[in-house]
Structure 1
């Protein structure tokens, strides 16, 4: 596992299995998509954080080395 495939939660080094796709509508165009990666333990908390701000677009399965950003 490379560091880029680890969970995005602060201090977590677990392998990512989910990609949380998001954008900030105030600064990103509608086609822009960024990604946070999540292990099973942090998928809900990261999703809640993004969702509460209206940033979360969708959650997809992450495969090692995949780039989910646009």
Structure 2
């Protein structure tokens, strides 16, 4: 297991402390304005499960590299 620095974004999955590589941008159209985006961060291991959870509810809008992640450099 890797150890993120204090400045590193951390995965939003319950109990995960891995560095986040992805930002899952979402909103609940019943509660949020169409332009509003909330963000869940995901490590590579949890990108699919968090994305599937949001997508199944019709909330997922975009998946992008998380700011400060090594994904931006590859």
Q: Structure 1 length normalisation: TM-score?
A: 0.86
Q: Is the 8 A contact 2:22 2:66 kept in 1?
A: yes
Larger Rg: 2
Q: How many residues end up aligned between the 2 structures?
A: 65
**Alignment partner of 2:47 out of 43, 48, 54:** 43
Please identify runs of 4+ aligned residues in structure 1 that moved more than 2 A.
Answer: 1-4
Q: Structure 2 length normalisation: TM-score?
A: 0.81
**Counterparts of 1:43 and 1:2 in 2: how far apart (Å)?**
21
Which residue number corresponds to residue 68 of structure 1? Answer: none
Residue 51 of structure 2 corresponds to residue 62 of structure 1: no
String of CA shifts for 1:8-37, please: whole Å, max 9, x gaps.
Answer: 000000000000000000000001000000
Alignment RMSD: 1.7
**Counterparts of 1:21 and 1:57 in 2: how far apart (Å)?**
6
